[in-house]
Amino acid sequence: MGISIQNLTHVYHPGSPFAVDAVHDVDLEISDGEYVCVIGHTGSGKSTLVQHLNGLLRATSADKMEIEGIDLLQKKPDWRALRRRVGMVFQYPEYQLFEQTVFDDIAFGPKNMGVEGDELTAAVRDSMRLVGLPEETEQMSPFELSGGQRRRAAIAGVLSMRPRVLVLDEPIAGLDPTGKQDILRVIDAYHSKTRATIIMISHNMDDIVSVAGRVIVMHEGRKVLDGSPEDVFSDPDRILALGLGLPTVSRIVREMNARGDHIPASVCRKEDLVRFLTEGRA
């Protein structure tokens, strides 16, 4: 079913002197099962864009907004169905934990969606396993968990709704290297297990090239680049001009080529670099 958006514009405080054009004329087609990373620096409109995907923000204007089979431009879209299909993990999600026990907190989402009884228990336990929370934490207070565990519990609270689209806003911010790897592994496991669509906002270009099948670059409210990591990073000067960083491999390739080498600019992962250097092809 996927996501199909045409000419989405979002203005904060329309008509007031503080009006801010946060997203401008964005078209977006995402098919089921894609792993998309959205990049752009602070204020580029990427957070605003993804908050439309489950109706947390409503378009100021749009020609088409069809998300997982629900038309958001109709008068009364089925919000509950939409929010069940599109899960949203915000920045620092551990700050939204509130229930007495980890179990109850993870159950909050599915319960609101009308899941009950054994089905609810199964949904909670499944997502705890998925994020690697040991069973004995189930009856603990979320505030007793370690920092990394809290983050995983919060993500489990979204996964327990079994969303078909999982949106994550900088899910690894503020974690130590192991914590980051844990979270990226959880997302990857959910993606390969359920074939859900993943849409992740991230700043870490090295992570992005290793996980994403597609990269979307936002700049000043507009979608400026959209394609495979190879495509997007094959114009490194453009990326730098947008004030963004490059994956480490792309940085090295760019510098090598500046010195006179001829490495294809699409080489952006270390595996690509190895292949090019050993087999002479990208």
Partner 1 sequence: MREMTLGQYYAVNSPVHALDPRTKILSVISMMALIFLCRTFCGLAACACFVLAVSFAGHIPLSKMMSSLKAIYFLLLFTFLLNVFFNQSGAVLWQWGILNLTSGGIKRALFMALRLVLLVTGAGLLSFTTSPIELTDGLESLMTPLKKLRFPAHEIAMMMSIALRFIPILTEETDKIRKAQTARGANFDSGSLYKRAGAVVSLLVPLLVSAFRRAEELAMAMEARCYHGGEGRTRLKVLRFHASDAVAAAVVLALAAFIAADQTVIVSLLPDWTG
Partner 2 sequence: MDRVCVEKSMTDMIDMRNVSYRYEEDGRDVLQNINLTVHTGEFVCVLGHNGCGKSTLAKLMNGLFQPTAGTVLVSGMDTRSENDIFRVRACAGMVFQNPDNQTVATVVEEDVAFGPENIGVPQKELRDRVDRALAAVGMSAYAKKEPHRLSGGQKQRVAIAGVLAMEPKLLILDEATAMLDPRGREEVLSTVKKLNREKQITVVWITHFMEETVEADRLLIMDQGRICLEGTPRELFAHTEDLRALKLETPPAAQIAQTLREHGIDVPNDILTPEELTDALWAFRSKT
Strands (E), 50-180: 64-67, 70-71, 86-89, 165-169
With vertex at residue 189, the alpha carbon angle to CA 183 and CA 191, rounded to the nearest 5 degrees, is 105
Q: Tokens 């809290």, residue?
A: 150
Rounded CA-CA distance 151/57 in Å is: 24
Q: Please, what is the minimum distance in Å from the beta carbon of residue 249 to partner 2?
A: 6
Strands (E), 94-239: 165-169, 197-201, 214-219, 222-227
For residue 171, the partner it binds in partner 2, partner 1, none, with Cβ less than 5 to 8 A by kind, is: none
Tell me the two tokens of residue 76. 């009364």
- Applying CB under 8 A, does 241 fall inside the site for partner 2? no
Q: For residue 35, count other CB atoms closer than 10 A to its CB.
A: 19
Identify which range of 106-114, 193-201, 247-255, 268-276 contacts partner 1 by CB under 8 A.
106-114
- Applying CB under 8 A, does 255 fall inside the site for partner 2? yes
Identify which range of 25-33, 112-120, 221-229, 239-247 contacts partner 2 by CB under 8 A.
239-247
- The contact set with partner 1 (CB under 8 A) reads 12-13, 18, 20, 51, 54, 56, 80, 83-84, 87-88, 90, 93, 95-98, 108-109, 111-113, 143, 157-158, 161
The residues that touch partner 2, with contacts defined as CB under 8 A, are 41-42, 146-148, 173-179, 203, 206, 243-245, 248-249, 251-252, 255-256, 259, 261, 270-271, 273-274, 277-278
